[in-house]
Amino acid sequence: MNVGRLIFTQVLDLLDRKEFHRCVNMHPMPRSSKGMPARDQFLAMAFAQITFRESLRDIEACLRYCPQRYAMGIRGNVTRTNLAYANEFRDWRVYEALGQVLIRKARRLYADDSNGLDLEEMVYAVDSTTIDLCLSMFPWAHFRRTKAAIKLHTQIDLSGPIPVFISITNGSVHDVHFLDQIIFEAGSIYVIDRGYLDFARLYRIEQAKASFVIRAKSNTKFSVQKSRTVDKTTGLRCDQTIRLSTWKGKRDYPKSLRRISYVDTQSGKRLVFLTNNFELPAIAIAAIYKSRWQIELFFKWIKQNLRIKAFFGTTENAVRTQIWIAICVYLMVACLNKIHGIDESLSRILQILSVNVFQKVPFNQLLTDYTFRDDHLLVSKQLTFNNL
């Protein structure tokens, strides 16, 4: 008797089947896998992310003889061989395209949220994180002579934070090259760390009629054209209009820049910012750069809560596939948080999902059976993972 739909299928309802098949048709396999179609691969890998599976054998043990497998939507034969073949040979761009679909959905849901800066402009943060790998197992991910790694270059919308654009490269690729892939939006503000300081690329942001806020390096040569008075009780030390003084600097960025020096009242650390925005108050520029910390929290969340530091396959395609499916899971959890109006962290929502994927109750009802505390999560006795 049908008593309801699984929590797992309710989560996957966020994916439109037509959109999914469109993404699959965009990047067909050279030799299709009848035992593991694309949807089954995604469902199995998403299940692994939500329930923290350790290996392909672990996924197979959980799903191959699971009585709820058909209700989850899995129609093929889930074996580690089939899953390994699909991860190695099905184009990872299928799941990148699927991730872009979910990004658009999440951005619409979070469109009315405030970024905490009281600004009308869109504010984006740009940064990267490095995932260390074993060189003998991942020789394609060249980083250093005795070390392998990949980089996850990310641009996020600080209203969410929702990733807007993601690029996965070898660890040896310098961060600054990511700016060449971004299509800058006129009127938006881009918050960048000093690892991206390249005046020729910053001038591209200026030409796109967008603004940037970036930390200056100590060896930047400049001449001061104008100084404005600042309130030093707020931590500000100077607000200047400058021009780059070196021949290369003048060639790469021929216009004036704004230089703001700020001392953090809590840590006592002195920070110097460069920006092409001359309209916002100097203290607002410092607040914008401080909000960049949200992208560090995003990297910390996905590393702690999703499986992107240990991989089920060693090929480049398998690694990229796993990362993009993990990002899809993050986006689905973020969408659930907004759709159901849950006043809890995404980590706790994922905890609820991890132990209740096979429960047949409405998602809203599931939330009412939980008691939250600040220090830990109390789980209702009848809601366990025994059905696995």
Taking the C-alpha atoms of residue 225 and residue 220, their distance in angstroms, rounded to an integer, is: 15
Number of C-beta neighbours around residue 365 at 10 A: 10
Q: Does residue 237 surpass a pLDDT of 50? A: yes
Mean pLDDT, the chain, whole residue set: 87
Confidence of residue 379 (pLDDT cuts 50, 70, 90): very low
Average pLDDT for 249-272: 91
pLDDT, residue 33, reads 67
pLDDT, residue 385, reads 35
- Two tokens, residue 71: 């209700």
pLDDT, residue 268, reads 82
Taking the C-alpha atoms of residue 238 and residue 78, their distance in angstroms, rounded to an integer, is: 62
pTM score, whole prediction: 0.89
Q: Does residue 176 surpass a pLDDT of 90? A: yes
Burial of 194 (0-12, 13-18, 19+ CB in 10 A): middle
| Helix residue ranges, H only, the chain | 7-12, 17-26, 38-51, 56-63, 69-72, 80-89, 93-109, 199-207, 247-252, 282-290, 293-305, 316-339, 346-355, 363-368
Q: Does residue 62 surpass a pLDDT of 80? A: yes
Number of C-beta neighbours around residue 277 at 10 A: 15
- 15-to-5, 39, 331, 352 alpha-carbon distances in Å: 16, 11, 11, 20
Confidence of residue 387 (pLDDT cuts 50, 70, 90): very low
pLDDT, residue 183, reads 93
Average pLDDT for 196-224: 94
Q: Does residue 151 surpass a pLDDT of 50? A: yes
In the chain, what's the furthest Cα-to-Cα distance?
78
pLDDT, residue 378, reads 43
SS3 303: helix
Q: Does residue 388 surpass a pLDDT of 50? A: no
Q: Does residue 320 surpass a pLDDT of 50? A: yes
Q: Does residue 377 surpass a pLDDT of 50? A: no
Confidence of residue 168 (pLDDT cuts 50, 70, 90): very high
Average pLDDT for 227-234: 90
Taking the C-alpha atoms of residue 364 and residue 237, their distance in angstroms, rounded to an integer, is: 51
Q: Does residue 354 surpass a pLDDT of 90? A: no
SS3 123: strand
pLDDT, residue 381, reads 33
Average pLDDT for 144-170: 91
Given a contact cutoff of 8 angstroms between Cβ atoms, the answer to whether 202 and 212 are in contact is yes
pLDDT, residue 265, reads 80
Confidence of residue 370 (pLDDT cuts 50, 70, 90): low
Percentage of the chain surpassing pLDDT 90? 57
Q: Does residue 384 surpass a pLDDT of 50? A: no
Average pLDDT for 252-272: 91
pLDDT, residue 22, reads 93
Could you tell me whether strands 142-144 and 377-378 are parallel, antiparallel, or unpaired per DSSP bridges?
unpaired
Q: Does residue 382 surpass a pLDDT of 50? A: no
Average pLDDT for 244-258: 94
Report the b/e string of 95-121 with b at 16+ CB within 10 A.
Answer: bbbbbbbbbebbbebbeeeebebebeb
